[in-house]
Amino acid sequence: MTQHTITSPAFKENARAALNNTQLQRALGNVEQGFIAKRSLAADALPEFDALRDNARDIKNHSLEHLDLYLEAYEAKVIETGGHVHWAQTAEDARGIVLDICRKVDAKIVTKSKSMITEEIGLNDFLEKSGIAPIETDLGEYIIQLRGEAPSHIIAPAVHVNKDEVEEAFRKAHDYLPGNRELEEPEQLLDEARRVLRAKYFEADIGITGANFLVAETGTSIVVTNEGNADLTQTLPRIHVVIASIEKIVPTLEDSAQILRVLARSATGQESSVYTTFSTGPRRPDDPDGPDQYHVILLDNGRSAMLGTEFQEMLRCIRCGACMNHCPVYHAVGGHAYGWVYPGPMGAVLTPSLIGVDKSGHLPNASTFCGRCESVCPMRIPLPKMMRHWREREFERGLNPATARYGLKFWAYFAKRPRLYHFAAAFGLPLLAFFGGRKRRLRKLPFAGGWTRHRDLPAPQTKSFLQQWQKHEARRRGGRT
Amino acid sequence: MSGREAILGKVRNALAANGSASDRQQVVTERLETAPKGIVPARGKLKPAQRVALFRSMAEQVSCTVRQVKKRDTIPRAVMEYLRSKNLPAALRMGDDRRLTRLPWADFHTLDIKTGPSDGDDLSGISYASGGIAETGTVMLQSGSDNPTTINFLPEHHIVVVDAKDIAGDLETLYAKLRRKFGRGGMPRVVNLITGPSRSGDVEQKIVLGAHGPRAVHIIIVDA
């Protein structure tokens, strides 16, 4: 049911539909209201926050520069503690490995905790087609699974859904429960999900989780949640499968402590997430609970090709979601408009790397370059700069639309002829300023309906910068003599 | 070529310009052996008395209830009082941690104690934490028959005992303790850091307690 059809090429149409979707617009208000204030409070409450961000960045840079060696060290440790390591070059490889593990124990039900990687490889769809039922256990993921949707946010997958829509989905899916039950409030909805999913944890043959970190020193996978769903997912079934991409590696436990300090604060504004769980290998002789088998699938799927390029820094991303929480474009159109798994600024950089800029060229263009994403990124990833790199690549390959290319040529014609440029500016600016009126906003402009339909265009000053500068200089000189 | 060789080969090629193989290996080995510490926030470096006070207030901020007792012997009474205050049946699940099993539970003969991992039907469970972290109000639990992992997640109410002397300022101190116990590079199967009862904000960003794990976490700090 989960949609993984790439609709990134239709970003403009997606965005238009999103802007006209009143339910979505109501839900998106929660992003802007909630996340920004919480993060800022948490960051301000820790004087060392910015220094920790520097450290977090340096740790990931170091890990990436020695990635091959840390991967080997990590693998050796997992094997030493009785776990299995599988290497997947592509999404298809990863799906095949999961299916093999399922087939060996004749698995029918697989519980899953939230994992963007499994979205990236389209695992749910694939398992369903193979006759295995994947059950999402994170409340947000469960909601969108019932609605047959993809996540619209990397840490709040159902942020686009309002509570009446959740109620509708639950009434439809849980039709065996009394029809007259009260189900309007978040508490009641959560309670119902808790009861329904509790049974599933026990039924499942295999539990699949992602990982926030893989620790080379100990062969440990770390997963962070607030609900505790990852813990039940990995503790109750016979087999625990961790799916993680290769850049999740950090050298030591101490390194994970540094990044953990910036992760929750950047994501939800918590000092710490409720559950931080370190898993190392399968059940031991002394263990009365826990899985008999522990598997890790290391996924590349395009990441190694980012190493050594201008996009390497993107591999520092810890998927906190701060960039999209602070993005005016994301606030306006939501996550689905981006058309694939990763939305917002991090998606605008990562998606072209993973599925190609030919399919996702709109995404790095869907930015005002306001720079808020970079200013809040705990890993200090220069997102706007990398979006610009993608725009350059797109332009070099002639992938951007004809209107943009002709527009640039038109502008370049003037830009190369300063006199003509000044003449045109001296003529055009006062005109725009006049139509802007006292509020200095243009609500409509010929040929610019794409802009003005959903927002005003700020009207320019009457005089160009150069004109003002010349006047300023003349006055200064005049004043001195 | 296997996936492993292909991926490692691509990574190596991409990083080829970064120094000689032996130098790189040495950097990595050293880092894994020394595990440099990084920044510990000032609030993670308080003196013991302030540390316990901070632990307590941080835990309360994330919706734990906290009680401090003088001696271990008084834990059963504190547990009974908690169960009564929440109108819970006098029943408790625990592992075979001797710090728990040796307590005078028999003083409360109505109390029904079950040992071993939780089967999902327990309303209340008790665990003995291997440590606490003042910086965030977090308790640390380790898997094993002492304190089975399922008790941390299945019961509705999780009572966690922690000795005041085991409350550290920061996570790094607890890592060091794990290394002393399990050797360098060693870890128990599972280490759970728990900071408050389970919660979700997935419906309209409203935080609701009691998602998949416990609805309530009650911490008992033991002074001696």
Domain boundary among A299, A325, A360: A299
Q: Is A41 on the interface with B (CB under 8 A)?
A: no
**Which residues, including other chains, have CB under 8 Å from residue A335's CB and lie 6 or more apart?**
A151, A152, A153, A159, A160, A324, A343, A344, A347
Name the residue among B138, B149, B192 with its Cβ closest to that of A272.
B138
Name the residue facing A287 among B28, B152, B189 (closest C-beta): B189
Asked whether residue A79 is domain-assigned, the answer is yes
What is the b/e burial string over B169-203, where b = at least 16 CB atoms within 10 angstroms of the residue's CB?
bbbbbbbbebbeeeeebbbbbbbbbbbbbbbbbbb
The rounded radius of gyration (Å) of the Cα atoms in chain B is 21
Q: Which domain CATH number covers A68?
A: 3.40.50.10420
Identify the residue among B57, B190, B192, B208 best suited for mutation to test binding to A, counting A beta carbons within 10 A and taking the highest: B190
* d(C-alpha A241, C-alpha A229), whole Å: 14
Same domain for A203 and A58 = yes
Domain that holds residue A259: 8-299
A199 vs A197: CA distance, rounded Å: 5
Q: CB-based burial of residue B74 (10 Å sphere; 0-12 exposed, 13-18 middle, 19+ buried)?
A: middle
Residue-averaged pLDDT of chain B: 96
- Evaluated on CA atoms A98, A99, A100, A101, the torsion sign reads positive
Asked whether residue A64 is assigned to any structural domain, the reply reads yes
Q: What residue in B sits closest to A28 (Cα-Cα)?
A: B204
Residues A70 and A217 in one domain: yes
- Alpha carbon of A290 to those of A83, A100, B151, B198: distances in Å? 13, 21, 12, 20
A221 and A74: one domain? yes
Chain B nearest C-alpha distance from A282 (Å): 7
CA–CA distance, A290 with A406 (Å, rounded to integer): 62
Q: Residue B125 in contact with residue B154, Cβ under 8 Å?
A: yes
Burial degree of A70 (CB within 10 A; 0-12, 13-18, 19+): buried
Query: A295 with A435, same domain?
Result: no
Cβ–Cβ contact A148 with B under 8 A: no
Q: Which residues lie below 8 Å from residue A206, measured CB to CB, with a gap of 6+?
A: A101, A102, A105, A107, A110, A111, A237, A238, A239, A240, A241
Q: For chain B, give the secondary structure using H, E and C.
A: CCHHHHHHHHHHHHCCCCCCHHHHHHHHHHHHHHCCCCCCCHHHCCCHHHHHHHHHHHHHHCCCEEEEECCHHHHHHHHHHHHHHCCCCCEEEECCCHHHHCCCHHHCCCCEEEECCCCCCCCEEEEECCEEECCCCEEEEECCCCCCHHHHHCCCEEEEEEEHHHEECCHHHHHHHHHHHHCCCCCCCEEEEECCCCEECCCCCCCEECCCCCCEEEEEEECC
| Residue A164: per-residue pLDDT | 95
Would A98 be classed as within a structural domain? Answer: yes
Distance between CA atoms of B127 and B147, rounded to whole angstroms?
6
Candidates B204, B207, B209, B215, partner chain A, best to mutate (most A CBs within 10 A): B204
- Picking from A162, A217, A298 by the largest number of B CB atoms within 10 A of its own CB, the best residue to mutate is A217
Q: Coil, strand, or helix at residue A349?
A: helix
DSSP code per residue over A404-470: HHHHHHHHHHHHT-HHHHHHHHHHHHHHHHHHHTTTTEES--TT-HHHHTTSPEEPPPSS-HHHHHH
pLDDT score recorded for residue B19:
74
Residue A152, helix vs strand vs coil: coil
- In this structure, the number of other CB atoms found within 10 A of the CB of residue B206 comes to 15
Judged by CB atoms closer than 8 Å, whether chains meet at B210 and A191 is answered as yes
Cβ density class A339-366: b for 16+ within 10 Å, e for less: bbbbbbbbbbbbbbbbbebebbbbbbbb
Residue partners of A114: CB distance under 8 A and separation at least 6 = A136, A138, A140, A141, A157, A210, A225, A229, A230
Last residue of a domain, which of A299, A317, A344?
A299
Cβ separation A198–B11 shorter than 8 A: no
Question: What is the distance in angstroms between the Cα of B1 and the nearest Cα belonging to chain A?
Answer: 11
Query: What chain A residue is nearest to B21 in terms of C-alpha separation?
Result: A69
Q: What are phi and psi of B69, to 5 degrees?
A: -125, 155
In a domain, A394, yes or no: no
Q: How close is the nearest chain B Cα to the Cα of A398, in Å?
A: 27
Say yes or no for a CB contact (<8 Å) between A271 and B195: yes
Calculate how close chain A gets to B106, using CA atoms only, in Å: 25
Nearest to A302 by CA among A356, A230, A369, A222: A356
Helix (H, G, I), strand (E, B) or coil at A157: coil
pLDDT tens track of chain A, all 481 residues?
344 689 999 999 999 999 999 999 999 988 887 899 999 999 999 999 999 999 999 999 999 999 999 999 999 999 999 999 999 999 999 999 999 999 999 999 999 999 999 999 999 999 999 999 999 999 999 999 999 999 999 999 999 999 999 999 999 999 999 999 999 999 999 999 999 999 999 999 999 999 999 999 999 999 999 999 999 999 999 999 999 999 999 999 999 999 999 999 999 999 999 999 999 999 999 999 999 999 999 999 999 999 999 999 999 999 999 999 999 999 999 999 999 999 999 999 999 999 999 999 999 999 999 999 999 999 999 999 999 999 999 888 877 778 778 888 888 898 899 888 888 888 888 888 888 888 888 887 777 777 777 778 888 887 888 888 888 989 888 865 5
Domain boundary pick from A299, A320, A344: A299
Q: Shortest CA distance to B214 belongs to which of A270, A203, A265, A232?
A: A232
CB spacing of B3 vs A258 below 8 angstroms: no
A-chain residue closest to B121, CA distance: A198
Q: What is the pLDDT of residue A447?
A: 75
**Tokens found for residue B171:** 């996570």
- Can you name the residues that pair with A224 across neighbouring β-strands? A276
**Three-state DSSP state, A223:** strand
What is the structure's pLDDT at A3? 45
Q: Could you tell me how many helices (H) and strands (E) chain A has, helices first? A: 23, 12
> Do A245 and A105 sit in the same domain of this protein?
yes
pLDDT score at B25: 94
pLDDT at B29: 97
Residue A317 lies in a domain: no
Helix (H, G, I), strand (E, B) or coil at A317: coil
DSSP string, A42-70: HHHT-TTHHHHHHHHHHHHHHHHHTHHHH
Do A76 and A217 lie in one domain? The reply is yes
* pLDDT number for residue B224: 83
In this prediction, residue B18 has a pLDDT band, given cuts at 50, 70 and 90, of low
With CA atoms as reference, report the closest residue to A276 among A252, A253, A244.
Answer: A253
Record: contact B210-A271, CB cut-off 8 A: no
B194 contacts on A by Cβ (under 8 Å): 274-275
B193 to A288: CB separation less than 8 angstroms, yes or no = no
Q: Measure the CA dihedral A9/A140/B120/B209, to 10°.
A: 150
Angle, CA A474 vertex, CA A468 and CA A475 arms, to 5°: 90
Contact at CB, B41 and A284, closer than 8 angstroms: no
**CB spacing of A274 vs B197 below 8 angstroms:** yes
Amino acid at A205: D
CB contact under 8 A, B212 and A228: yes
Q: Which residues of B touch A281 (CB under 8 A)?
A: 189
Does residue A147 sit within a domain?
yes
- Residue A59 in contact with partner chain B when CB distance is under 8 A: yes
Task: Give me the residues of A, 363-402, that contact B with CB < 8 A.
Answer: none
Q: Are A151 and A140 in contact (CB under 8 A)?
A: yes
- Separation of alpha carbons B40 and B56, rounded Å: 19
Q: Tally A–B CB contacts below 8 A.
A: 270
Q: Which residue has the higher pLDDT, B24 or A425?
A: B24
Q: What is the pLDDT of residue B221?
A: 98
Residue whose structure tokens are 């990763």 = A342
Q: Tell me the chain A residues in contact with residue B188 when contact means C-beta distances shorter than 8 Å.
A: 280
| Beta strand segments in A185-265, E | 206-209, 213-215, 220-225, 239-245, 249-250
**Whether B14 and A305 lie within 8 Å, measured CB to CB:** yes
Helix (H) or strand (E) holding A289: none
Report CA Rg, chain A.
25
Kindly list the structural domains of chain B, giving each domain's residue range(s) and its CATH number in brackets, ordered by start: 57-222 (3.40.50.10420)
Give how far B123 is from chain A: nearest CA, Å: 14
Domain-located, residue A440: yes
Return the residue in A190, A224, A243, A245 with the most chain B beta carbons within 10 A, the one to mutate for interface testing.
A190
Q: Which of B35, B42, B199 is facing A274, going by the closest CB pair?
A: B199
Please indicate whether, in this complex, the C-beta atoms of B35 and A217 are within 8 angstroms of each other. Answer: yes
pLDDT of amino acid A1: 39
ipTM > 0.90? Answer: yes
| Residue among B199, B204, B213 whose CB faces A162 most closely | B204
CB-based burial label for B126 (10 Å; 0-12, 13-18, 19+): buried
pLDDT digits (tens, 9 = 90+) for B108-165: 999 999 999 999 999 999 999 999 999 999 999 999 999 999 999 999 999 999 999 9
A88 lies in some domain: yes
Helix (H) or strand (E) segment spanning residue A124? helix A123-129
CB A313 within 8 A of CB A382: yes
Count of structural domains within chain A: 2
Token pair 């006047």 is at which residue?
A471
Please tell me which of the candidates A189, A231, A246 has its beta carbon nearest to residue B7.
A246
Nearest CA in chain B to A219: B185
- The two beta strands, B199-200 and B131-133, are unpaired
Q: Which two tokens stand for residue B196?
A: 């408050």
The residue type of A86 is: H
Q: What is the pLDDT of residue A479?
A: 67
Determine the residue of chain B that is closest to A160 in CA distance: B204
By CA distance, what is B39's nearest residue in A? A52
Strands B167-168 and B131-133, bridge-based pairing: parallel
**What span, in angstroms and rounded, lies between the C-alpha atoms of A138 and A276?**
15
Does B193 contact A187 at a Cβ distance shorter than 8 Å?
no
Q: What is the pLDDT of residues B57-99, one digit of tens each?
A: 999 999 999 999 999 999 999 999 999 999 999 999 999 999 9
Plot region of A311 (φ>0 → left; ψ -120 to 50 → alpha; else → beta): alpha
Question: Is there a single domain that holds both residue A96 and residue A230?
Answer: yes
